[in-house]
A and B are shown apart, each in its own frame.
Chain A
Amino acid sequence: MISGTSVNIVRLDGVEKHFGAVRALAGVDFAVDVGECVGLVGHNGAGKSTLMHILAGTLATDKGRIIIGGEPRQSYSVLLAQKLGVRCVFQELSLCPNLTVAENARVLHPCIAGWGWRRRAGKLIGDKLDEIFPDHGIAPDAVVGDLPIGKRQMIEVARAFTITKDPLHLVILDEPTSSLDSHTARQLLSHVRRMVGMGASCVLISHLLGEILAYSDRIVVMRDGVVVAADRASGFDRDKLMAAMGGAAASKMRSVAEATAPRRTTPVRVRARPATQREGIEFVAHEGEIVGLAGLSGHGQTALLLSIFNGATRRVSGIEVTDPVALIAGDRQSDGIFPLWSIAENIGIRSIRALRSGLLISSELEDRLAESWQKRINIRTPDMRNNILSLSGGNQQKALFARALGSEAKIVLMDDPMRGVDINTKLEVYDLIRAEGNAGRTFLWYTTEMEELENCDHVYVFRNGRIVADLRRGELTEERVIHSSFQEAGLS
């Protein structure tokens, strides 16, 4: 299908895109060769997702040329993109929660119709899941809305790799591993390499620089709507990438001085056991501590956080909580933000009692709270009274941190809140957590990223709803966490 001289599977020349006054893309040149995996990195708002929407045909360009398979394409659309073998896995999931796994596969393949279409669609997606994630455990007739977010992401990724009538030349993966644990993420990335080895191409967008460095052939760095660097992956390392992205704190590694420091002597704020565990290790968090909850995703960490949250207001057996709590949800869109409200209202809702004057909410106090947090954590918006959805994903997450930290809560529960957040925002938030911890707040932090666990004073590793390891800061290594996450039940 590659005609003539070009080995580019896709090529964008001088592509521009504006949203009102905002310039999302300012003349981007971008190309992907046949049999190549291109890593695309940049901070939130750098224009990566816009670029991918244009490649997938869901957004039209304002200016510039799109060349696919060697031919310039006018009136490029989703349908044409599919016909030409360009697929995209978007950052926000694009599955229909009310349909089954097989039905969702059918949505992407109009040619699966007529007698036995369910069986064929189910086999198509089932085989692909088996191929990419051998131990996925997903039934084709399961309703997608009943599955946890990690499984949904596996389905979405597998669906993008299924082939029927149209060819498959390029798969664009926008943050494909954000809801996967490290084991499934590795399965996916290995599959990408296998596919690239067979002559297909891939664009991989990720905030996890390790993934990008290890799995791409070439890396393209974007900043403020333009490409600022592009080179073979071997020409980059972590620091160089961070520098190219404009990372303020390129190599900010924390010292691990308190290697064998004992637990703090401050009062205990939380004492808990998972509902499925009645003996063994107990979860304890002291005042001013940052306690990590590690392990593969979906192994009871969120459940424990939620029962601690409930335990703060009513009696829950096995849970002792001494102070008010605030929860920062992981699924920002469904559990975090109020999409119709302004940024200020979204921040103020947890502190509504303090913002009252008489029976009513004082908008003056609300503004004051919002503005103090805007300054403190640098929420990028001209006006805190703008709708929360006007913010980029990372800034929305900052607003959720402001909601929790602006409240009277002494204990903050974090349910993997940094999914898909860019590295700069992450570093800012880490500092914020540290500072608040030193000021006496207790943080309970569920995360699937090793890098974030390094910010914790103490880490509990979960497996199958039980706490299987209790690691002090000095004992914390990636190997130990992985080892505990995978240990056979009998050996723990």
Chain B
Amino acid sequence: MTSVPGASAVRIPWATGQTPRRFLRAALPAISLALVVLGIAWLNQRAISYFGLNLMLNLGIPVALATIAQMFVITVNDLDLSIGTFVSFVGCVAATWLRDAPLLGVVVLLAGVGVYALIGAVIYLRNVPSIVVTLGMLFVWQGLAILLLPKPGGKPPDWLHGLMNFRTPYVPFPIIAGIVIAVLVHIGLMRTSYGAILRGSGGNPNAIARAGWSLLKTKIIMYAFAGIFGVLSGLALIGLTTSADANIGKGYTLLSIAGVILGGGEFVGGRVSPIGAVIGALTLTLAGSLLNFMRVSPDWQVGAQGAILIIVLAARALINRTDGRAS
């Protein structure tokens, strides 16, 4: 504040003192990922190879897709508690109908996206908290998944299995997939002109409505995208695991929320970052491997992942605070 004389004759660029902070904030997810990778490399050099990275990161793709799905919902100030069981449901559909009766499978998955769009419409029109609606949907998806596949089994369609186990030259497939997902969503949400409206509807819905845009439409679009990426996440997961189980996506709800926040997103205000979200999801996936290499017993791993989350968020809060003091 002090360095910005609002009306003095000398023009001082506005950005003085702001840019480093913004840069640091944006770089924080990448720094955390780099630290986790360095940790792994230090403990076990052989892990950082084509084969090792493939093995450690391939489960990161479905997590990244679910994180992107969650991010769309968080952009409009909502939270999707049902994404984990939705991924399970999609997995069960993919391992049964999509293989045996492809047409029925595709229709059911599209209907799942339709239900997501409908949820968005209901949340906007009836003004009900998203947590309530998606908590209900959590049980609906889980029930459907159990009906479809009461005990673990099934098999993914061959094309899906082939796609997810594709070997790209030089760079492991999960890394390329992550970059493609991040860049596509970044362009769609952060660079297009309608993407600005979608994010704006999370930042100040009144302002968007007053400029003549439909908030119903933005809400439906964001939820529909969450549904689409939820479907992609379920498909990717089944393509990797080769069989399904009604609880296969159980941990995804919390992982996806953590990934968005770790990637620089905020719960309210439409401040999100697709690139950060993908990095956040990969960081959380790799953190599991790092803890394995550190011989942390699986009993403690969830807690240790939580600790990583707290450390990164504390660093972010610290950056924000130093900025507050500087101005």
A residues sitting closer than 8 Å to B (CB atoms) are 56, 58, 77-79, 82, 88, 90, 94-99, 103-104, 106-108, 110, 112-114, 117-118, 121, 135, 137-139, 142-143, 145-148, 150-151, 181, 183-184, 276, 296-300, 302-303, 463-465, 486
Contacts and interface: CB of A to CB of B under 8 A. Distances in A.
B199 A112 contact: no
Interface string B186-221: 000001011011011011101111111100000000
A95 B204 contact: yes
Interface in B163-199: 191, 193-194, 196-197, 199
B128 interface: no
Given A150-B6, A151-B6, A90 B270 contact: no
B200 A96 contact: yes
A106 B196 contact: yes
B1 interface: yes
Interface stretch (B10-18, B60-68, B301-309): B10-18
Contacts of B270: 96, 98-99
- From A95, A112, A298, A463, name the one whose CB has the most chain B CB atoms within 10 angstroms: A298
Nearest to A141: B15
A99 B196 contact: yes
A139 B6 contact: no
A146 B18 contact: yes
Contacts of B204: 94-97
A280 B3 CA distance: 19
A106 B193 contact: yes
Given A94-B210, A142-B14, A107 B196 contact: yes
A299 B4 CA distance: 8
A297 B8 CA distance: 12
A184 B191 CA distance: 32
B11 A135 contact: yes
- From A114, A117, A135, A145, name the one whose CB has the most chain B CB atoms within 10 angstroms: A135
A350 to B, nearest CB: 23
A481 to B, nearest CB: 14
B297 interface: no
A193 B191 CA distance: 37
Main secondary structure of the interface of A (DSSP, over half): loop
Interface of B: 1-9, 11-15, 18, 22, 191, 193-194, 196-197, 199-200, 202-204, 206-213, 269-271
Contacts of A298: 1, 4, 6
B213 A184 contact: no
Given A78-B212, A298-B1, A98 B14 contact: no
Contact of A97 (B2, B5, B14, B269): B269
A139 B13 contact: yes
B98 to A, nearest CB: 37
A403 to B, nearest CB: 24
A98 B210 contact: no
A302 to B, nearest CB: 7
A435 B267 CA distance: 45
A126 to B, nearest CB: 12
Nearest to B207: A94
22 contacts: A94-B204, A94-B206, A96-B199, A99-B196, A99-B203, A103-B196, A103-B200, A106-B193, A106-B196, A110-B212, A114-B193, A135-B8, A139-B15, A146-B18, A146-B22, A148-B1, A150-B6, A181-B6, A183-B7, A296-B7, A464-B2, A465-B1
A300 B200 contact: no
A276 B4 CA distance: 13
Contact of A137 (B14, B194, B197, B199): B14
B207 A135 contact: no
Contacts of B203: 96-99, 145
Nearest to B9: A135
Nearest to A79: B212
A142 B15 CA distance: 8
A107 B15 contact: no
B12 A300 contact: no
A104 B270 CA distance: 13
B166 to A, nearest CB: 33
A184 B5 CA distance: 12
A123 B249 CA distance: 47
